[in-house]
Structure 1
């Protein structure tokens, strides 16, 4: 994954509501006024999350596609504005990246499959998905072959509302030629009264909390806090960098910072919701830095499922062996080939950055954690058929019915 500098900004639009001051004396004989209907939660303009089902070319098994979109700035090269993830019956998810070099029309989407399992030897990428939204269908091609997917909400999945915030910050307020930084936030909120604890935990994790002992923030307030903190830090940094130039003019491009926090859906079917909290920051240099913190939630309770809730305490050595084997498969290495060389490490650590699907667990490693930046995030899937003896007995998935993983 490669990100570069932005060119234009998108202003955050907020709606302001005022109270009416009604001083008229009510008629005691009049019936009580009917309560005003509460507006249903709605997506931000240009932001949405949908699920689609259908067959991929040459496959007899249906897939479920988690698809998201959000606004993109004019001439934007920092955000693709679209992302996806799909899985078949075995529960192994595959990510789809938006094409940063393509300007998407509202109903036309281009995604690229960079999963190593789907990239031919020597090729830069796997199949390209070119899709068009038509009513409740996606039509187009995958790898040049026709495909048709239909919008669907699988049994037990949650409706999620997409809320998008964006603003720009001047490095030197009052200067007409001041460079600007961009800040963006894409949040997902579940709909329904029964999702209160889940909604609160999603907001806590968006804020960066690791415990449930603090009140959950309101989303609008969280955005305002994030914007205020970013504005302060950015202007302090800009002032320091300008002073370091000792009278020379600092090139404006050196301060075209960008920061993004985007919530991505990897799994959405009871009893699991698995979310990625993607963070990207650019503060000058050849490229920005990024990573995804992943969390699964038990949708019956709204509680997160961290590593300790998934695996038994003694699981680590066996997990390392399974991850080593999975890495060799993904890298197309011989079963006894050393990992150090293609990777930075001789053995895969059992990272606690892990999420669940109905078919297994996905371990996520950030760039530079075990491999070069050019190799991007590395994700390794282990099916429940391999993990069953290592799982906590109270886990809501991973039973015998979930063990039909890939052989």
Structure 2
């Protein structure tokens, strides 16, 4: 049931060298767009600026009350780095999601209604001032919708366990071309007929609440009275993030976590790279030449060793469930490289978490179509 629920939450149904004038007409004019970052309840924006003397681009989303998520990258490298954070008063802390447990890195500062994020970046035993400004030129504008609900297992029992569900989605902005809007909606929902974001954001929540109420019929009230009820505190969380957004590419992440009893919950993130000019989802088969998997596996192995500091003479299956990493379809494309992402248990143990491996375009010569 856990995996079925996770798949339900995650379900939603080539790098162009140039674009002609007809494609450019589909690109919205967002050069002057500014999101009031301090007062808007939920939003997506793209920020650009300097950390010290290094240029970065940040995809920042406020996806729930007091919760920020997204990605950023150093423009020279282009590798997406997952971020999350929260707000305490006027102070915002945005942390790098560092799965390798290295030194904590974070942006600490304040958000402004003029579309700015200013403060100090901390990490690598040093700190740098940063100043980021809204920059949606060449970016697809998007909106964020959020909802949540909870239900008691036993409504008449004061200390009843709870089922808690939350969901956050992105949605094409009203300024988008109508055919482009339909394409993005279908990529998000998997269904071309879904047009109401508020109904869609509630659908997964309502499904969870219904499942929890059905399961409640099997609950043993005596165990709950004795305090043996932790496994009935079910939780499901799902959200969407922007990984990369420069016309014509838009990369989105669909993430889901659910706990329905047992030793731990299940989680996973699924990625889609959208070619907005061609109205299509980019797949590895379209991006690489035939036989690419055999040539990419050594590069993925190399990326894993670098990310997790594994020596060349150490077999990968001492750390993973596989001897070599094979490309999958959980695929990210940016202007600087590609990434393949693996959910827990796909190539490694649960404790390793989701593993995303980035390969620069400079290492892919001879493989690209």
TM-score by length of 1: 0.72
Matched, 1:51 2:46: yes
For 1:94, which of 78, 81, 99 is the aligned residue?
Answer: 81
Deviation at 1:53, TM superposition (A): 1.5
Higher alpha-carbon Rg:
1
What is residue 373 of structure 1 aligned with on the other side?
350
Deviations 1:263-319 (A, max 9, x none): 011001111100000111122344322110000111213322133332333211111
2:199 is matched with which residue?
221
Structure 2 residue 364 is the aligned partner of structure 1 residue 387: yes
2:208 and 2:274 mapped to 1: Cα distance? 29
Alignment of 1:1-400 (within 5 A): 46-57=41-52, 60-72=53-65, 81-87=67-73, 88-98=75-85, 104-105=87-88, 107-115=90-98, 124-134=102-112, 135-143=114-122, 145-207=127-189, 209=190, 214-242=192-220, 251-392=228-369
Contact 1:112/1:125 (<8 A) preserved? no
Check the 8 A contact 2:167/2:202 in 1, yes or no.
no
Work out the CA distance in 2 between the residues paired with 1:360 and 1:273.
14
Distance of aligned partners of 1:311 and 1:195 in 2 relative to their CA distance in 1, 3 Å threshold: farther
- Separation in structure 2 between the aligned mates of residue 383 and residue 127 of structure 1, nearest angstrom: 23
Per the alignment, do residues 153 and 56 of structure 1 end up closer, same or farther by CA in structure 2, a change over 3 Å counting? same
Contact 2:342 2:356 in 1 (8 A): yes
Show CA shifts across 1:206-226 (max 9, x none).
44x3xx6x5235222223433
- Structure scoring higher RCO (CA < 8 A, sep ≥ 6) equals 2
- SS of 1:337's partner is coil
TM-superposition CA deviations, 1:81-118 (whole Å, max 9, x none): 222311123321111233xxxx62364322322446xx
Structure 1: give runs of 5+ residues left out of the alignment.
1-40, 73-79, 393-407
Higher strand share goes to which structure?
2
Question: Contact 1:114–1:125 (CA<8 Å) still a contact in 2?
Answer: no
Structure 1 pair 155–61 and aligned structure 2 pair: CA distance change class (3 A): same
Whether the 8 Å contact between 1:201 and 1:216 is mirrored in structure 2 is no
Q: Offset at 1:341?
A: 1.1
CA gap of 1:333–1:226, structure 2 versus 1, over 3 A, is closer
Moved over 6 A (4+): 41-44, 245-248
Distance 1:189 1:224, change over 3 A: closer
Aligned length: 329
| Contact 2:63–2:69, Cα closer than 8 Å, also in 1 | no
Pair 146,247 (structure 1): closer, same or farther in 2 beyond 3 Å = closer
1:233 to partner: Cα distance: 0.8
8 Å Cα contact 2:163/2:232 also seen in 1? yes
TM-score relative to the length of structure 2: 0.79
Taking a change above 3 Å as real, the CA distance of residues 70 and 105 of structure 1, as seen in their structure-2 partners, is farther
Alignment partners' CA distance in 2, 1:206 and 1:94: 22
Runs of at least 5 residues in structure 2 that lack an aligned partner in the other structure: 1-34
